[in-house]
Structure 1
Amino acid sequence: MIEPLFTAYEDRASMGRALAGRVAMRMAEALETRNAAGLILSGGGTPKPLFAALKDQRIAWEKITLTLADDRWVPPDHEASNERLVRADLLHNAAQNARFISLVTDDPQAKGGEALIEDRLRAFPWPAALVLLGMGNDGHTASLFPGSAALSAALDPEGPARVRAITPGTLPKDAPYDRMSLTVSALLNSHLILLMINGDDKRATYERALAGNDQAAMPIRAILQQNRVPVEVHWAP
């Protein structure tokens, strides 16, 4: 296991600014050795300060491909869409030249879109230069929820699939939509993982995740307790 590096900040705004510089530096480093670099993002409210600062970072955005760790199975203009968040908060100013690979298709259910999204992701420059993840208080990350019928296959670090559909019957009540999620094998096909969390409750969840080893109970453990990819944990109250 590679011990995660934990950094605490005074507030969320300062964490967002600091991480914007960290992400930009990592992407610039990746572009020194390749002509393309991949950045995997997460949605929700936590990374919004990061996106606000990152969009003005002067890096070669035209050489960067973005995708998401997961998304809800809704149209890209839906208020619950992570793609909508990225397009609204990040893909402006300097960052508007980045390429974006969507995790959503026109299929009525997420399961029907798996093959097309797998094909789309062949164009992503693997391994990812950086993965940005969040975490729920139940220990989920991306859309890898405890109790999901697809969880066992999605947690396999050697699994061949890059994405898995998460169906409504396996989702918590506060996550009512179908989901498409990158698998652990895809997330670990990267050079660096940043876990960004806010609040005392998330810090307690993080510490609880470190204290046990049941990945099915807390899928974030598959990221925190592995020996392939360095993990940095960034927390603000």
Structure 2
Amino acid sequence: MSLTESNFQSTDELNIAFAERIVDILKTGITENGRASLVVSGGRTPKALFNALSKVALDWAKVDVSLADERWVETDDDASNEKMLRRELLQHNAAVANFVGLKTEHADAKDAVETCTANLARLRTPFDVLILGMGEDGHTASLFPCSEQIHQGLDQGARRTYIAVQPTTAPNQRMSLTLPALLNSKHIFLHLTGASKKQVLDEALKGGDEHAMPIRAVLNNADVELMWAP
């Protein structure tokens, strides 16, 4: 598997080019299959990208949007990825996209795995575009090296699509796509900004223990395009 690097001089330059790349892929998906799917990650890094995407002229009614992971909090909580996504992406032209959220009425994420798995049928798979981030500990989506569930999350032999995760180094229970579900994507992007994240990625590329740095499991099993700016 390979990592292709696209480096930019600024985050503004990155977001413009990245938005164009995503839209081209989604347009191709709509043309070829009638619909296209976009699965994204939360955090601070993609906010400006999402805002730019929301204003692009695209047949958004034919685009399915979902999250790679979610904190198990109410959707009006500031920690909610869904809240951020509704504010930054599901606005303007993209307001008509088919959004499939992860948070359910279940108090415990473990009890929601079956529901989330059933809801995935509302998205076109394989995903046309998957955008991943990466934490300073090498986690991606909510596949945390500190969690008891990391072995299950990275198990490609299991047929799990989602897994409930309880990190020990971060707040909130989470729901996350598993490694095999993440890999079921036509185009996988790793979206990073800042020198520190580049250093973490360099460390990940040098080692082999996927459970210590779960981003390695993606890099070792898929063609990934890095979108990076300082």
TM range, smaller chain: over 0.9
1:205 to 187, 200, 209: 200
Residue aligning to 2:227:
234
Residue aligning to 2:17:
18
Residue aligning to 2:139:
140
Shift of 1:31: 1.3
Residue aligning to 2:53:
54
Residue aligning to 2:34:
35
2:189 to 172, 175, 194: 194
Shift of 1:157: 2.6
Cα deviation code 1:70-117 (max 9, x no counterpart): 010001110000000100001111101101111111111111111111
The answer to whether 1:154 aligns with 2:121 is no
Structure 2, unaligned runs of 5 or more: none
TM-score norm. by structure 2 comes to 0.97
Separation in 1 of the partners of 2:100 and 2:168?
24
The answer to whether 1:7 aligns with 2:2 is no
AA matched with 1:117: C
Q: Secondary structure at the match of 1:197?
A: strand
Separation in 2 of the partners of 1:11 and 1:200?
12
Q: Which ranges of 4 or more aligned residues in structure 1 deviate by more than 3 Å? A: none
Structure 1, unaligned runs of 5 or more: none
For the aligned residue pairs, the C-alpha RMSD in angstroms reads 1.0
Q: How does 1:173-184 map to 2 (within 5 A)?
A: 175-184=170-179
Identity of aligned residues (%): 39
Separation in 2 of the partners of 1:176 and 1:217?
19
Q: Secondary structure at the match of 1:141?
A: coil
AA matched with 1:208: E
Does the C-alpha gap of structure 1 residues 204 and 87 become closer, same or farther in structure 2, counting only changes over 3 Å?
Answer: same
TM-score norm. by structure 1 comes to 0.94
Separation in 1 of the partners of 2:171 and 2:48?
26
The answer to whether 1:110 aligns with 2:109 is yes
Cα deviation code 1:180-215 (max 9, x no counterpart): 000011111110101001111100000111111100
AA matched with 1:178: Q
Separation in 2 of the partners of 1:32 and 1:208?
39
